[in-house]
Amino acid sequence: MENWETVVVETDLLICGGGMSACGAAVEAAYWAKKNGLKVTLVDKAVPTRSGAVAMGLSAINEYIGYSKGENTCEDYIRYVRQDLMGIARDDLVFNIARHVDSSVHLFEKWGLPIWTDENGKYVREGRWQVMINGESYKVIVAEAALNAMNEAGFEVYERVFICGPIMDGDRVAGAFGFSTRENKFYVFKAKAVCAQMGGAVHVFRPRSVGEGLGRSWYPPFNSGSTAYFTIQAGAEMTCQEIRFIPVRFKDAYGPVGAWFLLFKSRATSAEGGEYMAVRKDELNNWAPYGLVKPIPANLRNYLGMLDTDAGLGPLYMETAEAIQKLADEYKDDPKAFKKKMKVLESEAWEDFLDMTVSQAILWAAHNIYPEQKRSEIAACEPYFIGSHSGGSGAWVSGPEDLDTPYKWGVGDKVYGNMTTVKGLFTAGDGSGASSHKFSSGSHAEGRWAGKQAIRFILDNNEAPNISDDMIAELKEKCFAPMKRFEEFKGFTTDPNINPNYIRPMQFMFRLQKIMDEYAGGVSAAFKTSKALLERGLELLDMLKEDAEKLAAENAYELERCWENVHRMWQAEAHVRTMLFREETRWPGYYFRADTPKMDEDNWRVFVNCTYKDGEWVFEKKEVHHLVD
């Protein structure tokens, strides 16, 4: 620890993370900060040009309203999101993102992102809300704009610095601490406001891919619950911690299905060929009103497939060959045109994977799958925490000032949009809850909003935080405790992996994942859980928490893994406790509470919020307020 230099960075606004929402925050905050003589600092555990969920690229932008072109309204988007989340969404936040999202998409295009257009110059839509892109370099383009804005304003960006947690000064956030994963440097960032935007969480649950495929998942492995940990530890009120997301994707390489369902109009079937969405249609009555309105919520679509799997009708398949044939059929009387169309469709099918999930293309090649000839297996993935996609978990943040919403707060009579319940702590993207379906574009737009609001907050509350030298010394001790422990005890046994004095991060992660998988409704429990299972899971999580004090790290790489697992563990606990609190099943297909198997609109059409304060979790229900019917 003596070898680790302490670096103290003083700034006005600290942006933690370098993903879609953080890049949005940086672009906007850099502009307003420079104008007002303030300083912004951005810190990413990786390198923003290839970090976060969009690192590998995407094939579609999933939220584009087309408002100025008269294509859709923001009110329609509210209805769509609320319907998909079985009634549980913050209209105010969804509306606020929707009214800003198109401008983010137009900026992406201006910065160089190729968006597909038709012969009339109109964006090609994959579905009602999505636009198709050549997105291999999507993140590079968006990050470059953010980095340029930061550089031009003379602000600093710290790459490969892992943020461990918040620093508090009484009831306000005062910054963050972390360490460099490449140099022996311990960082203390002192800030007047913080945007905590470090994405969602993966590998909280045991993934399907173990052994030879260990680490593969739909959600990229880079995000490990750091935003949730940061906000929980700062004392922020959290919401929708029970709403995990389980996508159904091409099996084992997790290739996207959106283009297949929306663009290719493909069917998903059981091994016997029955289309579960049609065969099991009656089940949707049990989930009225949401089950009876189109589009059917993603969790219900999952659920119908899961019923087939439970009935032994698996594997499930995407009927790729049938879909391609159907699309080419209109050219069947012209062999040359037919051949040409088949070639285009075939290349679009591969391109979809090459844009964002190269490994799926590799798996298809390895399994001799020609999508135009043979159907391909799909399956429900393990659960993830991604409030910006179809999950809902995140912090409870203030709505915008101009909307008629009961959820507005700030300091005195000033409202600061996207501020958590902690003074000066803002979040967006996966970090803010109950506002799903923002995706990449909406996360960027929300990040821009949060960045601008944070600068407003600083201008009104321009006081330097108080962080004592003693506190810095304490945080440094805490940060490096796993390395100290390893050094102290490594000689105790001949095999460094087996030691009664410590636990290494990989073993710790396996233990967490086993608890979550078996007790909290993971893949091997067929996504089912119950009060008794959750209570037993909590007992085991409690013991895991005790052992978190025994984590050991041989080097900086392992130190990062230790902290990632601590972050995951807190996300896990918030999830288990919230599922326990909500005594109903509202999102079958995401999780099923076997002891309360029905939806209860009278008692549970509410947000469940939790706060961790003075060592205790406090839970409460919050009313769902509508801006539109």
Point out which residues bind ligand FAD (CB under 6 A).
16-22, 43-46, 48, 51-54, 58-62, 162-163, 197-199, 218-220, 222-223, 226, 386, 388-389, 429-430, 439-441, 443
Q: Which of 21, 51, 59, 62 is catalytic?
A: 62
Give the span between the Cα atoms of 25 and 130, in whole angstroms.
Answer: 23
- The length of the chain is 629
Instruction: Give the C-alpha distances (Å, rounded to integers) separating 181 from 46, 47, 510.
Output: 9, 12, 23
Residue nearest to ligand FAD (CB): 19
Q: Which of 82, 249, 448, 567 is catalytic?
A: 249
List, in order, residues 6 or more apart from 470 with CB less than 8 Å away: none
Angle at 310 (CA atoms; ends 305, 313), nearest 5 degrees: 70
Least distance between ligand FAD and beta carbon 263 (Å): 12
Q: Is 389 a catalytic residue?
A: yes
Least distance between ligand FAD and beta carbon 234 (Å): 14
Nearer to ligand FAD, 87 or 387 (CB): 387
Instruction: Look at residues 580, 591, 564, 545 and name the one whose alpha carbon lies nearest to residue 203.
Output: 564
Nearer to ligand FAD, 81 or 321 (CB): 81
Nearer to ligand FAD, 22 or 553 (CB): 22
Q: Is 629 a catalytic residue?
A: no
Q: Which of 4, 32, 218, 260 is catalytic?
A: 218
Least distance between ligand FAD and beta carbon 135 (Å): 8
Q: Is 352 a catalytic residue?
A: yes
Nearer to ligand FAD, 123 or 222 (CB): 222
Least distance between ligand FAD and beta carbon 580 (Å): 26
Least distance between ligand FAD and beta carbon 186 (Å): 14
Q: Is 376 a catalytic residue?
A: no
Instruction: Look at residues 567, 597, 568 and name the one whose alpha carbon lies nearest to residue 585.
Output: 597
Q: Is 593 a catalytic residue?
A: no
Nearer to ligand FAD, 201 or 313 (CB): 201
DSSP 560: H
Give the span between the Cα atoms of 102 and 249, in whole angstroms.
Answer: 27
Beta bridge partners of 621: 608
Least distance between ligand FAD and beta carbon 437 (Å): 9
Q: Which of 51, 266, 436, 440 is catalytic?
A: 440
Q: Is 249 a catalytic residue?
A: yes
Residue at token pair 């293309």? 361
Q: Which of 63, 242, 322, 352 is catalytic?
A: 352
Give the span between the Cα atoms of 525 and 351, in whole angstroms.
Answer: 35
Residue 41, SS3 per DSSP? strand
Least distance between ligand FAD and beta carbon 222 (Å): 5
Nearer to ligand FAD, 388 or 405 (CB): 388
Residue 617, SS3 per DSSP? strand
Nearer to ligand FAD, 127 or 315 (CB): 127
State both tokens at 322: 């049938």
Give the span between the Cα atoms of 61 and 127, in whole angstroms.
Answer: 10
Give the span between the Cα atoms of 156 and 354, in whole angstroms.
Answer: 34
What's at 184, amino acid-wise? Answer: N
Pairing of the two strands 172-180 and 161-169? antiparallel
Q: Are 168 and 191 in contact (CB under 8 A)?
A: no
Nearer to ligand FAD, 157 or 538 (CB): 157
Least distance between ligand FAD and beta carbon 410 (Å): 23
Least distance between ligand FAD and beta carbon 165 (Å): 9
What is the chain's Cα-based Rg?
A: 24
Least distance between ligand FAD and beta carbon 432 (Å): 9
The number of angstroms, rounded, from the C-alpha of 464 to the middle of its chain's C-alpha atoms is: 32
Instruction: Give the C-alpha distances (Å, rounded to integers) separating 532 from 280, 346, 529, 550, 588.
Output: 30, 49, 8, 28, 18
Nearer to ligand FAD, 204 or 313 (CB): 204
Give the span between the Cα atoms of 596 and 432, in whole angstroms.
Answer: 28
Give the span between the Cα atoms of 464 and 173, in whole angstroms.
Answer: 11
Instruction: Look at residues 501, 510, 509 and name the one whose alpha carbon lies nearest to residue 481.
Output: 501
Instruction: Could you list the beta-strand ranges (E) of 319-433.
Output: 376-380, 394-395, 410-411, 414-415, 425-426
Instruction: Starting at the earlier edge strand, list the strands of the sheet with 616-623.
Output: 394-395, 238-239, 606-613, 616-623
Least distance between ligand FAD and beta carbon 141 (Å): 14
Instruction: Look at residues 176, 165, 241, 212 and name the one whose alpha carbon lies nearest to residue 433.
Output: 241
Q: Is 218 a catalytic residue?
A: yes
Nearer to ligand FAD, 198 or 483 (CB): 198
Q: Which of 91, 102, 126, 382 is catalytic?
A: 126
SS3 content of the chain, % helix, strand, coil (to 5): 45, 15, 40
Nearer to ligand FAD, 284 or 551 (CB): 551
Nearer to ligand FAD, 209 or 596 (CB): 209
Q: Which of 389, 437, 561, 567 is catalytic?
A: 389
How many of the other CB atoms lie within 10 Å of CB of 613?
10
Least distance between ligand FAD and beta carbon 367 (Å): 21
The secondary structure of 124-191 as a DSSP string is PBSSSS-EEB--TTHHHHHHHHHHHHHHHTT-EEE-SEEEEEEEEETTEEEEEEEEESSSSEEEEEE-
State the catalytic residues.
62, 126, 218, 249, 352, 389, 440
